[in-house]
Every structure is written in structure tokens, then in C-alpha cells.
Amino acid sequence: MNFDPSRRKALYWAGGAAAAATIGSAAQAQSLPTGTIRMLVGYPAGGGTDVMGRIIADKLKERIGANVIVENRAGASGTLACDALRTAPADGTVIMYAPSAATVAQTVTKKVLPYDLEKDLATITLAGTVSTVFVVSPTIGVRNLPEYIDWLKKNPRKASFGSTAMGSSTHFFGVEIGQAIGIPLEPVAYKGAAPLIADLSAGHAPAGCGGLTDFLTHHRGEKLRIIAISSPKRATGAPDLPTIAELGYPKLASDGFYGFYASAKMNPGMINAWNKELRTVLELPEMRQRLVGLGLEVQTSTPAEFAARQSRDLVSFAASMKAAGFQPE
């Protein structure tokens, strides 16, 4: 896949407008399927994405009366689920819940994928934004970024961090922090958050980088300590956590997103029906409270608004990849 950031930047507004016009003119009122609905998740059961997906699926069951099941298609940094969605029935019975780490990041960092993100997958709605976080093991005895920098100076051979997904923001954010503090940090690949959390808790890894939704409950349980978050402002569900901008590195501020996708072959009317139902569920006060508590800043959108956000992130993520010195593979 040949990703051209300059071309993308020039065209995404036109693309978003065209998508809005197409959906607006073609969509007719439709009802969601009443049989079994599959929600694809590209990560193992028990992780942050899976937990959120199941919470949303349970509420959907209550509202639409269908059997909504979460189907874990774990592997290849979330791209197995994306490819499964490409070939899934387009009748409204299959949707996908995914973070930008599985969609935007993989599109930018992989030379070849079995699908085209923007041609084969259709955006339904944003679910919210999420911060990448830098964490340390409780065994190294530091509580904040300045103390971590001092610790690194005394332990130069331990200047490494575990990444929950190489070639994603959980890789680049850690590398860029090392560049900013003047102490290069070596990324170590982990197959998801669970093994990294285990190593951090046991002291086998000194530091790590991953999504706030994966690490927040473990921070509260003192299995690890979050010392910086990437988002431009403090997280609603964890206002005590300092942003990287507050710590003196505003150029590193960024956030990712979670959203719902369909097969690009799905009828625009069905996409609109899903958009309406998912936004209603996500914006319920009790749902918003639960998701915020997991680290998701709930934010919904139209399909076109989501497509425009995705296009912008493709451009900005390519710049982040370049800054981290990473080459598409």
C-alpha cells in the first residue's frame, strides 16, 4: 500500500464532503438486523478494546433486541479484524470496534496490507479519543518523569521500554520521549498489553508505553505507574495524570481514537441506522461514565466527520513515524 501524506492532506476535505453528500442522498430509513450481530475486535479477550466492546455490545442487546456478540479476531496488531470486515456480509450483521492503532497506524507503517482502509472499510462513528501513556514499573522507585530521568542517568543500561504494538503510537511516543529528554530509549516489542503489564508488575521491564484504556485500572491497582499521557489535556477519568505538554514537551502532544466500522459495501442507509443507534448508546449518561472510567473520552460523529478525522490522523501519524525514525515494513 502506497500512502502519500501530501496527497491525502490535499484531498481529505473533498473526500469527507463527498461522503456526506453520498450518504445524505442515498440513505433511506432502515432498521437494524434482528438476528445475531457480530462486533469484531482485533485484540484478545480481557484487553481494553475487548472490555469496552463488550460493555457497548451489552447495551446494544438491551436496546435493539438482537443477539450482539463480540468476536475476537486477535493478531497482526488488529489488522486481522480489519481484513475479516472487508470480506464480511454487508447486510448490517457485522461491524467492527477498533482503535486508530489498528487502522491508521497499520496503514501508515505497513507497505502491504490485504485491504485498503479507506476503500474497503466504511466509517460509522467515532466512539471517542484516547491517550497513549508512558508508564514505569513500581519496582524502580520513581513517581514522575523527572525522577525517571534521574533514574535513567544512574541506570543507562536499562534505557528501554516495552511497547504494546510496534509501529504504533505506543512505540513512537516512547521513542520521542527519549529524544526529547536526550536519553535514547530502546523499544521492546510485546504482544499486547497483558504480558507487558505482567513484566512491569514483576520488575522484569523498567518502563512501557501503551493506551490509557489498557493501563488505567492497573495504575490504580499500583501494578504500574503512569507518569505521562500524550493527550493535549488531562483525561476526564484520570485528572491526576500529567500531560506531556505540562511536563515541558508540548510538541509530543497527540491522541488517538476508537471508532466503529462497516464493510464499504454496506448500504448507506444501513450505515446511517448504525450511526444513529451507536451514537445513542455511547451518549447515554451511564455508558459515558463507564467508558470515561476506562480512559476513553467519549466523542461521537457522523460517518463523514469520522472519515475526515481518520484522514487527518493518517497525515499526522506519518509525521510522527518519520520523527521516530521508523520505516514502513
**Contacts of residue 254, Cβ cutoff 8 Å, sequence gap at least 6:** 132, 169, 173, 230, 231, 232, 316, 320
C-alpha separations of 66 from 96, 97, 173 in Å: 16, 17, 40
Give 91-128 pLDDT, tens digit per residue. 999 999 999 989 999 999 999 999 999 999 999 999 99
Q: What is the mean pLDDT of residues 147-174?
A: 94
Could you tell me if 227 and 238 are in contact, meaning their C-beta atoms sit under 8 angstroms apart? no
Task: Fill in the DSSP letter of residue 324.
Answer: T
Cα distance between residue 167 and residue 111, in whole Å: 12
- The pTM assigned to this predicted structure is 0.84
The per-residue pLDDT for 21 is 41
Pairing, β 160-163 against β 207-211:
parallel
pLDDT greater at residue 278 or residue 6: 278
C-alpha separations of 136 from 208, 228, 291 in Å: 6, 10, 24
Cα distance between residue 183 and residue 288, in whole Å: 39
Cell of residue 131, nine digits: 491517550
Question: With 50 as the cut, is the pLDDT of residue 250 above it?
Answer: yes
Pairing, β 94-99 against β 36-41:
parallel
Cα distance between residue 131 and residue 123, in whole Å: 21
Question: With 60 as the cut, is the pLDDT of residue 307 above it?
Answer: yes
The per-residue pLDDT for 45 is 87
Cell of residue 117, nine digits: 482502509
The per-residue pLDDT for 1 is 46
| Burial class of residue 94, CB neighbours in 10 A (0-12, 13-18, 19+) | buried
Cα distance between residue 269 and residue 97, in whole Å: 19
Structural domains in the chain?
5-130+256-323 (3.40.190.150), 132-252 (3.40.190.10)
Cα distance between residue 187 and residue 207, in whole Å: 10
Q: What is the mean pLDDT of residues 116-144?
A: 97
The per-residue pLDDT for 27 is 45
Task: Fill in the DSSP letter of residue 156.
Answer: G
Could you tell me if 116 and 85 are in contact, meaning their C-beta atoms sit under 8 angstroms apart? no
Give 265-293 pLDDT, tens digit per residue. 999 999 999 999 999 999 999 999 999 99
The per-residue pLDDT for 84 is 98
Q: Distance from first CA to last CA of the chain, Å, rounded? A: 11
pLDDT greater at residue 82 or residue 166: 82
